[in-house]
Amino acid sequence: MSENLTPSGEPSYLQYKGRYRGIFAWIFSTDHKRVGLLYLWSIMTFFIVGAILGLLMKMELISPGKNIMGPQTYNGFFTLHGIIMIFLIVIPGLPAVFGNFFLPIMIGARDVAFPRLNLTSWWLYMLGAVVVLTSQFTGGGPPDTGWTFYAPYSFQTPTNMLPAVTGAFILGFSSILTGLNFIVTIHRMRAPGMSWFKMPLFPWSLYATAWIQVIATPIVGVTLLMIIAERTLNIGFFNPALGGDPILYQHLFWIYSHPAVYIMILPAMGAISEIIPTFSRKTIFGYKAIIASTVAIAFVGYFVWGHHMFTSGMSGVALYTFSILTFLVAIPSAIKVFNWVSTMHKASINLQTPFYWAVSFIFVFMIGGFSGLVLGALSTNVHLHDTHFVVAHFHFIVFGGTGFAFFGAMHYWFPKVFGRQYDAGWANIGWLTFFIGFVTLYGPMFYLGIAGMPRRYYDYVEVFHGGNIISSFGAIILIAGAGIIIANLVKSAIYGEEAKQNPWGGITLEWQVPSPPPLENFDEIPHITKGPYDYS
């Protein structure tokens, strides 16, 4: 209880007793740290489901012909895999878990601006997840459109689209509330003395991300509503038979869903920008350049959606515009990579698991980014559109980028969140297995795509067999790695050694509060006088 708190004997956020007991002390808690952990558990649960779906698809693709599932099941699997991974995991991902937990602490606040809204957003997330998942068990069977719900198929398929689309709409609402909360928090609740340019880079990336969440998500919201109206009222918005234009659906869908890629990757970059200076024990190189590139990516990234539609029949002018804008996004992304690498230059690096994750993030992110340029060029895109090359590209960015950063952040902040240290040996083995599995799984897909293997088919011709065997074995290694990592983290959270307040020697604010932090984070709100990475 807040009235009998003392600086020494304060209960941590994990222990304090509120009004509710047991699980209710969590699911009704408005504490930003508990909400963050609620998201963590939910996301981890869904991740296991989504990863198993992915593994089963790879097992189907291990040899030509039908192995363990037929075409309709396969369509259902990649749809559900996409919906779960995109809407339930990587979009909330880092902002909802680590943003909720660390944004207030890193800017020196006691909580987010609207704690109840924050909890509401988790509840909406769970509601959306449940609604999406009911589509699997009711009505005309699992949706088979892919996570993009492309019209006109999405309102013609007999499968159970309505719950999937409604659920995605609710999840969008949850995402908007998180973004709104973060913007207000950053505007209103920074500690005294923390000017905009004394704010750490993770909060900066969350700020840019939050703006995308607020101004892009409503577009997909209304688009999903139109799909619902289309299915129930037969209005004809996207139905060519009634004068509608299916390509307009693609425009509207990608106006959100491309910026959504930046919702996924920007906080990941923010987390990497925290990890690298801490383990390099050095000021980050080009602090303001990283901020500028974050804002530039968020801004330009809002206007490049058309590169998902190069083969859909857009006008030439639109094709050139989108292609040029797409290439422009590469510039700020490269600036970040240069800054990270320059930070490590001549540093006495503390080689720990989070640092391995950060470096491997840079590696896979660059491969993903460069393959993105291949797809952003109009002539090569015609050849590679809807092949496995695209699958490899976005897995390198979304899974390699966001996923690696998520695990990196997980290890980096683990001692702070749980007050216990993970087992470093197993963590490193897990990282190595995961990394090898990742490259083995997605690397061959580049080759398969260039060779012409299309995506979203349960079957293929014999000539693609070799690459698929390697890829499928990669999937097994990757799942083994993920298993080691998760098992190690779960075990360490319960039985691990007690962690010190500042095990890595970090100097951002979260390392100046106890591990785990007390309910209100700070006894006294700190006064900020120095920049966030001032190691002098």
Applying CB under 8 A, the residues found at the interface with other proteins are 1-2, 16, 18-19, 29-31, 110-111, 113-117, 176, 179-181, 183-184, 187-189, 214-219, 221-223, 225-226, 229, 233-237, 242-245, 247-248, 251-252, 255, 302-303, 306, 313-318, 321, 519-520
Query: With respect to other proteins, which residue has the nearer C-beta, 291 or 391?
Result: 291
Query: With respect to other proteins, which residue has the nearer C-beta, 113 or 453?
Result: 113
Query: With respect to other proteins, which residue has the nearer C-beta, 114 or 327?
Result: 114
Q: What are the residue ranges of helices labelled H in 345-423?
A: 353-376, 378-384, 388-394, 404-418
**CB 117 → other proteins: shortest distance, Å?**
8
**CB 201 → other proteins: shortest distance, Å?**
22
Query: With respect to other proteins, which residue has the nearer C-beta, 254 or 357?
Result: 254
**CB 381 → other proteins: shortest distance, Å?**
16
* Cα–Cα distance, 409 to 412 (Å, whole number): 5
End-to-end CA distance of the chain: 39
Q: Contact 182/210 with Cβ under 8 angstroms?
A: yes
Residue 152: asked if its preceding bond is cis (omega within 30°), the reply is yes
Length of the chain: 536
**CB 520 → other proteins: shortest distance, Å?**
5
**CB 515 → other proteins: shortest distance, Å?**
20
**CB 211 → other proteins: shortest distance, Å?**
9
Q: What is the sign, positive or negative, of the torsion defined by CA atoms of 216, 221, 226, 228?
A: positive
Query: With respect to other proteins, which residue has the nearer C-beta, 13 or 98?
Result: 13
Give Cα separations from 75 to 40, 66, 71, 203 (angstroms). Answer: 28, 13, 6, 39
**CB 221 → other proteins: shortest distance, Å?**
6
Query: With respect to other proteins, which residue has the nearer C-beta, 216 or 275?
Result: 216
Other CB atoms within 10 Å distance of the CB of residue 147: 19
Amino acid making up residue 46:
F
- What DSSP line would sit under 191-203, residue for residue? PTT--GGGS-HHH
Give Cα separations from 148 to 153, 175, 192, 217 (angstroms). Answer: 11, 18, 44, 14
Query: With respect to other proteins, which residue has the nearer C-beta, 127 or 300?
Result: 300
**CB 165 → other proteins: shortest distance, Å?**
15
* Cα–Cα distance, 294 to 313 (Å, whole number): 32
Token pair recorded at residue 346: 């001549």
Q: Contact 464/448 with Cβ under 8 angstroms?
A: yes
Query: With respect to other proteins, which residue has the nearer C-beta, 210 or 477?
Result: 210
Q: Contact 217/135 with Cβ under 8 angstroms?
A: no
Query: With respect to other proteins, which residue has the nearer C-beta, 28 or 457?
Result: 28
**CB 389 → other proteins: shortest distance, Å?**
24
Q: Contact 277/353 with Cβ under 8 angstroms?
A: no
Q: Contact 430/488 with Cβ under 8 angstroms?
A: yes
DSSP at 454 = B
